[in-house]
Amino acid sequence: MPDDAIPERLDRALARAFPDVSRARLQDLIRSGQVRRDGAVVLDLSVKVGPGADLSVTIPEAAPPTPKAETLDLVVVYEDGDLIVIDKPAGLVVHPAPGHESGTLVNGLIAHCGDSLSGIGGVRRPGIVHRLDKDTSGLLVVAKNDRAHKGLTEQFADHGRTGPLERVYRALVWGVPEPRVGTIEAALARSQRNREKIAVVRDESGREAITHYHVEEVLDPAGLVALVRCELETGRTHQIRVHMSHRGHPLLGDAVYGSAFKTKASRLDEEARAALQALGRQALHACVLGFAHPRTGEELYFESPLPPEMTALMDSLRR
C-alpha cells in the first residue's frame, strides 16, 4: 500500500488495488483466508490498513460450475452398480463445455444416476472414461464409482493391447480405400493452422494413432462411396475422421475434414443427395464396444445397429 495512503477498510483498499475483481469476490477471498497483511492472514473485512501496509492476495482459479441434473431420454444398453453403457444419438454433446452448458449426456447421467457420479473424474466430466464427438452416434461406457472409473480408464489407456478392450466403428467414406484391408499409422496433434482441428504430424508433437480398417461394402456401381469398418488401436480425438481424410477418403457429411469433397455429392443421384442432406453429420457410428468389467473381470461385449439415417443413406446408394 502506498506510504501516502489514508487508512481504510481492508476490503475497500483491495477494491482500489484490484479494480478488475469485484468487491464481493474480494470479500469472499478475505473470509477464506486468501488475503495477508504483512505476511499474516487477515479475516476481518473492516480491519483498517494504513500507509506502508504490505498486502497480498491469492486468487485461485474459478472452479467450474457443477453440471445440473436434466432428464434426458437416454438409451441404456446395460447398467449395474459400477457402470452404465449408453447408445448415444448423434447431436448429443457428451460433457459440458463453453457453448454447451446444458443438455449434455453428463446432465442426463446426473439425473439418471444421482449422487453416485459425484466427483468421479472431475466436476465437469463425472464418470466419463471416453467420449464420442457430438455428431458421432453409438456406444459409450460411463463409470459410476471411483473403482470402476480407475479400472476402465486403465483399459482405455492400454488401448486393449493387454486386455479385451474393443472399439469398432462403421463409417461411410468417399471412394474405395486401397488396399481394402489395412492399417493407418499416422501421429496426430492439434493443428497449428486451426486449433479446432486435429492434423497428421511428422514431428515429436504428435501422439501415436493407429486405425485398422477394412472395406465391408462398395455401395454404388461407380465406387463413389464405401462402408468401412474401423477398429481403434488407439483412441485419439477425431482419429478415424482425420485418418480416413489423410488417406483421401473422408467421411460423408464431415464438414471439418471432408469439405474439399463437397462436389462429390453432385455425382450422387437425387435420392442419395437428399439422404445425405438428411443425415446432416459425419457418417460415423460406434457399433461395437467390449471391455472387462472393472470389478468382476467379466468380459462384456455390446453391439449397436446403424442408426436409421445412415441405413437410409446406404439404401439410397445401393439403388
| 2 CB burial (10 A radius; 0-12, 13-18, 19+) | exposed
Listed residue (178, 161, 167, 162) closest to 223, CA to CA: 178
**Chain-centre distance for alpha carbon 38:** 45
Show the CA angle centred on residue 223, arms to residues 218 and 226, nearest 5°: 40
DSSP letter at 114?
A: G
Q: Are 209 and 230 in contact (CB under 8 A)?
A: no
Contact (CB, 8 A) for 169 and 286 = yes
Q: Are strands 83-88 and 76-79 parallel, antiparallel or unpaired?
A: antiparallel
Among residues 11, 82, 87, 133, which one is catalytic? 133
Q: What is the DSSP string of 217-280?
A: EE-STT--EEEEEEEESS--TTHHHHHHHHTT-PBTT-TTT-GGGGGGGGGS-HHHHHHHHHH-
Task: Name 317's Cβ contacts closer than 8 Å, sequence gap at least 6.
Answer: 219, 220, 224, 225, 268, 272, 275
Our answer to whether residue 158 is catalytic in this structure is no
Catalytic residue IDs: 133
